[in-house]
Structure 1
Amino acid sequence: AAAISDSGQIRPTIAPIAARDEIGDLSRTLTAMLRQLQNQTEYREKMADNLEHEMRTPLAGISASLKNMAREMDNPPPHITEYLNWALEDVSRLENLLTAVRDATSLTEALGRDFKEDFLLDTAIEMWLIHSWQPAFPTVEFRYLRPAAPITLYGDPARIHQMLDKLIENGVSFHTETTPIEIILMEKNGAILVQVANQGPTIPQDRQNQIFNSMVSFRRQKEKQPHLGLGLYIVRTIVEHHHGTISAGTTEDGTGTVFTITL
């Protein structure tokens, strides 16, 4: 257990024993294995960042070339214009994907610089709903079940906002049109519970824990935006940074999905 840090990082804490017996051989083998796992983990973490950096420049060049072609052509046939627009849209999608990868890979390091404070979570959610989520999704109905008494949370307001942003975006992506997104805040058994529920396709029970892993997605979303399965991974990372837990389940009537955060 000492070889795994609180953030899930591998650290080679087993000191090899110099004894030339089975115990010594075992300690040296375990030390080597932990070091290899640590190197592999660090390589995988840096790979996404390196990939994002290396792909930005050629994508920018492709985008600029396509835009120059569109400007320099006089009255191009409609199908040529359509092809150029499709190519530019695909470039934009790739740029959005790279941004998502960068945000996810740099999140853990950024969390270490966060500033936590006591703030009124019930009031904050109301403000985010009015000034952020409703303007972003004007055709979607939101229902906020606010507790009667104020609820104070010790945490980073900006990260809690980011966490709920991802859950709201997820709910909107998969909700059945004309049905509301429900945001429920309550206190139960001394803990703060935040729920985001939507009507729509449910998540199979045997996969409800897996969806919080990086690059995992099981539900088909309605939109054409690229989807890497990073949103819920970011949510879980922020929740755990605040010493909380998150779970996915099915709504009581079985017609949708509900995410429950316990802080």
Structure 2
Amino acid sequence: MLFKKKRLAVAITVFWVLLAYIVTGLGYWFIALEQRSRQISNYQIAELNPADPGYTVKYDAIVAQKKKRTAQYVGEGSTFLGLILLGAIFVYREVRRQIRLQLQQQNFMMAVTHELKTPIAVTKLNLETLLKHRLDEQKQQKMIQAALQETNRLDTLATNILVASQLEGEYIQSKESLDLSALVKHAMQDFAHRFPDRRWAERIEPGCTILGDPLLLQLLVNNLVENALKYSPREGVVTVSLEKKGRAVCLAIADQGPGIPEDEKKKIFDKFYRTGQESTRQTKGTGLGLYLCRKIADDHHAILKVADNSPIGSIFTVTFKMV
């Protein structure tokens, strides 16, 4: 990684040096042409006879010709300079975009590798323990529950990757009248069963009907709740509320985690984006969950926002239009 950063620094330095050289050469070209034009004008004026009745007219013509050449040089030089700068800006932005994408993909691969290895290792260890040892019923149930949770992590990861790929392709959404209240209620029952040791608070108003794709909306709710679980302390409360507000339906998921800095609140919805360094980050994830939430919200003409919770944490809200 250090070698790549050095190569990148060298490439950027060479780019700016070449750009400075080109601009300097353009300036030298303009000065040289202007000096030559002045010499030509001075030579033509020196050849004039002051006693000639048409001296003034000829002198003015020479001066006008010199100004015309200067205007031509300025126009051509400005055009070339503008094209060079536009090209340089375009190349620089594209290079930076490709570099950011490459770094994001590297972080994504590191995260996916970790996300795959950890649940596989935990599940394998639990199953081997169940096979090799005779455990009491309570311990067996606990290990089976842990294995199921890790399997659900794998399933969520595979679903996120698959749906992210499909949404960028030709995914055909199934828009239908949907009882969002029932969907959220069922999702929360599933989370309470999967995470019985976590604290939950629900305020789900019945009859919240919207137009949408059940699979995508289920993924939206799951990703937002899992994000709240991920960043909340084990003793913290995850609050899920769903209510009608006029002709809109508002879904809100609040956590009691560390919160999100202001400069990060827009970036967290970018594809593969995760705060901190991948090699030292403690929280799980691939940087796809919130990206998918924003994509799904946009596809349903909904508004996804994040705000600070009180006294600590974050609140993610999705506002839909009612049917």
TM-score band by shorter chain is: 0.5 to 0.7
Equivalent in the alignment of 1:236: 294
User: Paired residue for 1:125, among 171, 177, 184?
Assistant: 184
Structure with greater helix share of residues: 2
Q: Is the 2:228–2:255 contact (alpha carbons within 8 Å) kept by the matching residues of 1?
A: yes
Gaps of 5+ in 2: 1-78, 125-149
The equivalent residue for 2:231 is 174
Match of 1:4 in 2: none
Amino acid at match of 1:227: G
Fraction of identical pairs, as percent: 23
- Superposition RMSD in Å: 4.4
Q: In structure 1, what is the equivalent of residue 175 of structure 2?
A: 116
Corresponding residue for residue 36 of structure 2: none
Q: Quick one: which of 174, 195, 214 aligns to 2:252?
A: 195
Structure-to-structure mapping, 1:1-263, within 5 angstroms:
99=158, 102-103=161-162, 105-109=164-168, 112-130=171-189, 132-147=190-205, 149-218=206-275, 226-251=284-309, 253-263=310-320
Q: In the alignment, what sits opposite 1:77? A: none
CA contact (8 A) 1:104 1:230 kept: no
> Structure 2 length as normaliser, TM-score?
0.49
Matched residues in 1 for 2:243 and 2:167: separation? 28
Whole-Å Cα distance in 2 between the matches of residues 225 and 202 of structure 1? Answer: 14
Higher-Rg member (1/2): 2
TM-score by length of 1: 0.59
Assess if the C-alpha contact under 8 Å between 1:100 and 1:230 holds in 2.
no
Deviations 1:137-196 (A, max 9, x none): 22112211012x511111011111101111111100111222221111112242111000
* Superposition deviation, residue 121 in structure 1: 1.0
Structure 1 residues without counterparts, runs of 5 or longer: 1-21, 68-91
Q: How far did residue 228 of structure 1 move? A: 2.5
Distance in 2 of aligned mates of 1:220 and 1:169:
21
- Number of aligned residue pairs: give it: 194
Q: Report how far residue 218 of structure 1 moved.
A: 2.5
Name the CA distance, whole Å, in 2 between partners of 1:247 and 1:98. 23
- Aligned partners of 1:112 and 1:226: how far apart in 2? 27
What stretches of structure 1 move > 4 A for 4+ residues in a row? Answer: 96-101, 223-226
